[in-house]
Chain A
């Protein structure tokens, strides 16, 4: 039977229905199976990832005293779309801000990357727990606002700002470099907080919530199956002795300079003072940026960590190094005597102060004779067997570098400087090739000229002498909770190129300088019960009065502390640096001060005039 018009139409209508059905199924197939982006959009709609911030690890001093801890703070969050008209005057007065600031904050959050009126944005950072207590009672009056707990640092002793560094919020650059960080995270920006960031920061957690179209939380996602708990940061015990550190900071009040004290047997830094210092509390929380700016504009540069970053000439303390190299190279003997009539007579000459003459090696160190060490230095560089001044100088440089000069000691703190030890090519450029000899560079013999050393390197020198020939890289962390031992680079012995027997003559000289009576340069450092060995220095400074330098260690046998003290523009090392070192040593070893008058005199001294002592 042929299809007539009527049956035809029945099938056409049915076909139209089936055709539309197939079109819809195809579209559904595209939406539900082919296209994946809708699943992501759905998660973005409904899932809210709330980071769980861990508290940073605590920091203890070497005696177990808590020196860096946490305080609760709260970030005030706002979901713009949920905010209803509220009493801005009351709100501002609770928060202790003015009304304009509220308006400013509202316009500011819109500029934050990833801002959404449906999601919480930080409205006001780091509200103190005191403010929070008041706010909490009245939060119901301000719909759309909520708080997120954070932790901030607090420093019970208010010491060692340079050492700890500070914590701040990550910026775009840091986020780009390290995907762990997200907007709003905290990160150690300087000091120990920076170098041990990974250990201290802990591990962020996340809570995943489901929210409805108005961002109201409707419950946890999959019953918290994908939530992670925040892991508190690891506690750190540092090598610092809080009492010694605090004492040093008091002694250095109104003085510019640095003290570094090291335990020679381990390389542990006992105290690291850079003066003027600042209260670490200033760099916490909302006022950090403003305070940082103020500190930065201070002409005395309190932010600058002189212990690691200031380079001074070592001055006469460097005679020890030259002496040791001479002994090692056999160009001077313990018994060698040189006469001194007010200076080294050859070339441009080097002046000397008045002292008995001639002097032996030990006496030359005790009385810090310039002439003696000019002979010693030239003896090394011009030693015939080396063939040329360049070769001789290179040998000298190699010895010097084995003391840790001219290179980073790799302390576990950021921003350590290498220091400066000149090289042959440096002099070839400075003069010309073949245009210099041992006389041209004679200043090196007394630690002046093209030498730059940090207080840390000088303390390390002191440590080397105390150990009679070796050192461990200075470090500030003794123990990380939950971790076995510290970085092996801090337990690796660095042995100098000088045989340990030669050190005994230097130690004798340093002993005599303090305890040897007439002619000693640091007699005011002597203590009745503790035998301190020390060496003064006076670092010439083209910009102002000489810097006062002193390195020392004690006790003479089995030393427990090695120290370097730099006081800028304070003149002769024996005047200011040596009594300060002596007080530090006494404080550390005896825990009491037998010379309160001296202590008071030092504490009260104001040495901030850079030119007062210029001769």
Chain B
């Protein structure tokens, strides 16, 4: 394939148009969210929409610079950028200004930047460079170690900054690794773990243990082709558990049913293992491992959730799962957010017509909760348009990633898509009560220079990589 002549040739314009549309809509919604009669000029630079306009213009300039730089720079200096980002993160940790309880801001003159925002593209560049090497074997232990270090190092520093939400974003990169070789069963296992996690919070331990045991038996019944043995094994374990329970009860010992089930399982597992040894059925070893891992996971989640997780985070999750509600207290943000979006109805209240956002009932209405303004003023129609734009953008990014010849560009592309996807899903999810409140911005929409620039860099490096593929 021939090299493109013009530096700006071969740009993927649909992506750029969606980017422009989202940025413009974000700006209009910031205007609407903080609009007041005293400050109604859209160019009022004492107000956030005035400032955002400056950020936008600077972001455009930044995009242009990125497009003008030789694409090889991003490959060659990937680790350099990564190192720089880590350095910035560490300095923020020590010298950073505290905002909302997090050491996440680096003060440069009168302006501040959030290194955590910029660390994203650097991490993806580094990851792309690592994984993009010819003949890279992702499932080798050394590979797993390297990948883990690259991803977890920035995440760990961000957690130290007390900004868990931003750190969670790095978890989204699992999608990249999935694309690059993590097998399906592992992803399914992860999904199952998430399911167990939620179940631990809403259901009792005993129920979960029974469920885990039953799913293990079920898996064996499906893949093991030994129905008769399975049934008798399951029945005898169950009968043993019940006899134990009633005997202890009869003797007057009040013992939690969780321990009864655990005892049954501990007695049952060696029997199954002995059976496996003599019949040479390897599946039983795997399933036993599965049962042990999930059980340990469930019990430690239970312990961690109720004993270690701070109360306010517990409450947020409980609110989400409908376990408890306190719309005036810790549930205030989400409740007001839902009221704002819910009151928008089908067509919305019209531009500047939103009352809940404009009159500050919704907190952080121009940053993390900017989607409330969309929902309130543009209704279901507007919300659908915005979400559709994001989905089209994501699918387009995947499409572009798939057409890359170089693994580096492709991995980077998937990284960009994963990060944006995570941000959109979590941010919109929290405003509509699908996800716990985690303070991360809506890409291109939320007020703030750092966030806008970081996403612009993230996206335009990929556009640049694509333009000269």
Contact = CB atoms under 8 A, between A and B. Distances in A.
Interface of A: 9-10, 12-14, 16-18, 20-21, 23-25, 27-29, 31-33, 35, 37-39, 41-43, 45-46, 210-214, 218-219
B442 interface: no
Given A45-B336, A45-B339, A46-B355, 8 more contacts: A21-B387, A24-B432, A28-B387, A32-B342, A32-B346, A45-B355, A46-B359, A213-B359
A191 to B, nearest CB: 46
Nearest to A39: B343
B50 interface: no
A44 to B, nearest CB: 9
A38 B339 contact: yes
Contact of B360 (A17, A21, A39, A212): A212
Contacts of A32: 341-342, 344-346, 375, 379-380, 383
B356 A35 contact: no
Contacts of B215: none
A16 to B, nearest CB: 8
Contact of B356 (A9, A12, A42): A42
A33 B379 CA distance: 9
A13 B178 contact: yes
B148 to A, nearest CB: 21
A16 B194 CA distance: 15
Contacts of B383: 25, 28, 32
B380 A10 contact: no
Contact of B342 (A25, A38, A46): A38
Contacts of A37: 342
Given A23-B434, A32-B383, A17 B421 contact: yes
B398 A13 contact: yes
A24 B428 contact: yes
Contacts of A212: 358-361
A218 B358 CA distance: 10
Given A10-B398, A42-B356, A212-B360, A18 B391 contact: yes
A17 B428 CA distance: 13
Interface in B377-396: 379-380, 383-384, 387-388, 390-391, 394-395
Contacts of B339: 38, 41-42, 45
Contacts of B179: 9-10, 13
Contacts of B394: 17
Interface string B296-336: 00000000000000000000000000000000000000001
B132 interface: no
B342 A21 contact: no
A290 to B, nearest CB: 38
Contacts of A33: 345-346, 380
21 contacts: A10-B179, A18-B391, A18-B395, A20-B425, A21-B387, A21-B388, A24-B429, A27-B433, A28-B383, A28-B384, A28-B387, A31-B342, A32-B342, A32-B344, A32-B383, A35-B342, A38-B338, A39-B345, A45-B361, A213-B360, A213-B361
Nearest to B356: A42
A46 B356 contact: yes
Contacts of B433: 27, 31
B340 interface: yes
Nearest to A28: B383
B395 A17 contact: yes
A25 B355 contact: no
Given A10-B402, A25-B384, A219-B37, A41 B343 contact: yes
Given A17-B395, A27-B432, A38 B343 contact: yes
Given A13-B178, A20-B425, A38-B343, A28 B356 contact: no
B432 A31 contact: yes
Interface of B: 37, 175, 178-179, 184, 336, 338-346, 355-356, 358-361, 375, 379-380, 383-384, 387-388, 390-391, 394-395, 398, 402, 414, 417, 421, 425, 428-429, 432-434
Query: Is chain B's interface secondary structure helix, strand, loop, or mixed overall?
Result: helix
Contacts of A39: 342-343, 345
Contacts of B421: 17, 20
A42 B336 CA distance: 8
Contacts of A29: 380
A-B pairs, 5 with minimum CB distance = A38-B342, A42-B343, A212-B359, A46-B355, A213-B360
A526 to B, nearest CB: 80
Contacts of B360: 212-214
Contacts of B375: 28, 31-32
Contacts of A23: 434
Contacts of B379: 32
Interface centre among A31, A38, A210, A212 (most CB of B within 10 A): A31
Contacts of B425: 20, 24
A46 B380 CA distance: 21
A27 B320 CA distance: 13
A214 B360 CA distance: 8
B161 to A, nearest CB: 28
A282 B375 CA distance: 57
A39 B375 CA distance: 12
Nearest to B425: A20
Contacts of B398: 10, 13-14, 17
A41 B428 CA distance: 21
A214 B359 CA distance: 9
Contacts of B428: 24
A251 B416 CA distance: 100
Contact of A9 (B178, B340, B395, B432): B178
A63 B346 CA distance: 64
Contacts of B358: 212
A12 B361 CA distance: 40
A42 B340 contact: yes
Contacts of B390: 21
A32 B374 CA distance: 12
Nearest to B390: A21
B137 to A, nearest CB: 15
B361 A28 contact: no
Contacts of A10: 179, 398, 402
Contacts of B346: 32-33
Contacts of A27: 432-434
B361 to A, nearest CB: 5
A102 to B, nearest CB: 26
Nearest to B363: A213
Nearest to A10: B402
Contacts of B345: 32-33, 39
A23 B342 CA distance: 16
A275 B106 CA distance: 86
Nearest to A40: B343
Interface centre among B184, B339, B358, B361 (most CB of A within 10 A): B339
A599 B213 CA distance: 108
Contacts of A28: 341, 375, 380, 383-384, 387, 432
Given A13-B178, A45-B361, A21 B391 contact: yes
A14 B178 CA distance: 13
A32 to B, nearest CB: 4
B361 A46 contact: yes
A41 B355 CA distance: 12
A18 B421 CA distance: 11
Contacts of A13: 175, 178-179, 398, 414, 417
B284 to A, nearest CB: 28
A73 B373 CA distance: 43
Contacts of A42: 339-340, 342-343, 355-356
Contacts of A16: 175
Contacts of B340: 42
B178 A210 contact: no
Contacts of B417: 13
A37 B343 CA distance: 8
Contacts of B175: 13, 16
Contacts of B384: 25, 28
Contacts of A21: 387-388, 390-391
A593 to B, nearest CB: 70
